[in-house]
Structure 1
């Protein structure tokens, strides 16, 4: 499949370089030859299902996990390689954990100042006050963690990690213990804070909506390997392989064949015009990825499809539609168009990014 990725045009200085790293537990390789880089000021995510290796990579960057291959550098200083492991406290990397890990016997202010103990009291107080104002907790500085809500505790954990002015902040599923609405709001607030301070960060998450909203760059992991490291737009519209296409977003693969013109694909929904020439010969069998927003209602003509399933989400409804041959597509339609199960609708396609994979793949 040809590459039609959209890239960020601004040139930034590389902060973190992860090169061909491999991690294993006893004889099991859990991270295999993973490479990516993080620029100064970028907020990134490692995304994937449980057991894919994303937390192991985060631990390796933090210094809690040794490498069996490759290396990790921060500002051109090597932190890890097979015969080298700089201690976590010497890396100037902050970390926010899933369970917050606040000290229950310390006040909010003292938790934030914990990593500043070698600095003068006046400087500690100044940093704590600035961070408390930044995370909007100035009025609870003398409370203890058990007196705070989950969202407030997470803000304290963030402020404590930011207090020593780390070069890089690592966040290990920090919002997973919060309810959905608070999780969404707090993740955006944390992003704004990091952007204001110009601090680079890497978030580990299994929630792709969270990763997309939070991050400038997202890396999708599967089976310990990095499938694609890219901006969210490209992960959705230009997946590099079937694994990415299956995991990111929603959609279905529709069988087709390459047309006489190599930028066309003939399918049950008609001949679809792609935005690129495809690398296969005319007549080659392919599978076309159609996202729910690629399928639209047709007022004139179109193909008949039967409603099999529907999921109402407020402003829109996601329909699973069965075509005459039994193939399925999904369509995201305005919720005021309310169709019943087994009702027939007329559909067509409007796909700006027509992604295809070889059937043999």
Structure 2
């Protein structure tokens, strides 16, 4: 699979304010990626820089092996073959849908332009609405037209800046999957900016997690959830809580809920104080389970209920119960651990520089 977009060690600034630092990643042809992170982390700035709206201070951006942004070089947005879908749709209110889609096709012949408009409206299931104006459409329909307009010139990459944030949850979910289907059918790469993890995981092949202008991890959604590389990613992606423990035998941890056995070895000495990340699916309801906890709060989701539970020490954990297991606030429930692997981080101040003897001998 060929690399389409290469972002290398870029820094972006507004005047002297540094927005992003040392960001590097690659996007392959046909892949969809998502830039995920809290507000103010630099997601939209990074997207605008790729689009050519903002310059880079250091580093470079290449498209198909050609540098399009560098400190002394900036290819204009209209020359990049990069399409953009904005949060507010940015449709022209005085133009019909067909005229909106045709707007970027001035270099096409009349016949080619008409054929492309019909093709794009059909692609987004709006072939019968080309005569209407934007104000006559719902939000979801307007977003489809914005996508059709961005796709019409056949760009190499589509950039989507929180395109579904103005829509309700069900429509957002449906439209996200529809956009993924369309991009995949055309083999067009996409970069989505969002703060919604569910949206990111549903749409993207790869997700880049940003925080304070730095790329924390670039990985598949599965690996971000199961193999977070630092505490920020572990906390930000998915749900979970850290509980304290003590490392034993490099792959087991003693905690207040018992010995948790993992399937990997950590390169720290026995006795290292660690924090264990537990997801709601790592702790399960069990009437005969050895762990007792008090129900602090719960959220019914239909097929399951997410319980917030307090352990005897006061430590808070979360667990997803089958919806038929019904408990009230203050009830005591029994649990067992079903974690098939460990996600550990040394506790602040822990000495982790010494190599465990067992691993040293093995090497």
TM-score where L is the length of structure 2: 0.95
Q: Which runs of 5+ in 2 are unaligned?
A: 350-363
Alignment map for 1:276-295 (pairs within 5 Å): 276-295=264-283
Size of the aligned set, in residue pairs, is 349
User: What's the secondary structure of 1:293's corresponding residue?
Assistant: coil
Identify which of 24, 30, 42 aligns with 1:41: 30
SS at match of 1:73: strand
Alignment of 1:1-361 (within 5 A): 12-259=1-248, 261-360=249-348
The answer (yes or no) to whether the contact 1:262–1:277 under 8 Å persists in 2 is yes
Whether the aligned pair in 1 keeps the contact of 2:209 and 2:215 (CA below 8 Å) is: yes
Q: 1:51-105, CA deviations, whole angstroms, 9 ceiling, x for partnerless residues?
A: 0000000000000111111000000010101111111011010000000001111
Deviations 1:335-360 (A, max 9, x none): 11111111111111111231000002
Report the equivalent of 1:7.
none
Q: What secondary structure, in the 3-state scheme, does the structure 2 residue paired with 1:138 have?
A: coil
SS in 2 for 1:317: strand
Q: CA deviation at 1:180?
A: 1.0
CA contact (8 A) 1:238 1:353 kept: no
Measured against aligned partners, the alpha-carbon deviations of 1:122-145 in whole angstroms (never above 9, x if no partner) come to 111111111111100011011111
1:279 counterpart SS class: coil
Residues 261 and 341 in structure 2, CA contact (< 8 A), matched pair in contact too = no
- Mapped to 2, the partners of 1:166 and 1:61 lie a distance apart of 13
Q: CA deviation at 1:199?
A: 0.3
* Counterpart secondary structure, 1:246: helix
Structure 2 contact 9–58 (Cα < 8 Å) conserved: yes
After TM superposition, the score normalised by the length of structure 1 is: 0.95
Q: Deviations over 1:211-259 (max 9, x none)?
A: 0001000000000000000000011111110000111111100100011
Deviation of the 1:300 alpha carbon: 2.5
Q: Which runs of 4+ in 1 moved over 6 A?
A: none
Indicate the SS of the match to 1:17. strand
Aligned match of 2:355: none
Could you say which residue in structure 1 is the equivalent of 2:359? Answer: none
Q: Secondary structure at the match of 1:139?
A: coil
Root-mean-square deviation (CA, aligned residues, Å) is: 0.9
**Aligned-pair CA distance for 1:334:** 1.2
Q: Which runs of 5+ in 1 are unaligned?
A: 1-11
Distance 2:76 2:117 in 1: 26
Q: For 2:46 and 2:333, how far apart are their aligned partners in 1?
A: 47
Q: Deviations over 1:156-204 (max 9, x none)?
A: 0000000000010000001111111111111110110000001000000
Measure how far apart 1:301 and its partner are. Answer: 4.0
SS of aligned partner of 1:192: helix
Query: Could you tell me how far apart the structure 2 residues matched to 1:301 and 1:244 are?
Result: 30
Bigger drift between 126-135 and 287-296 goes to 126-135
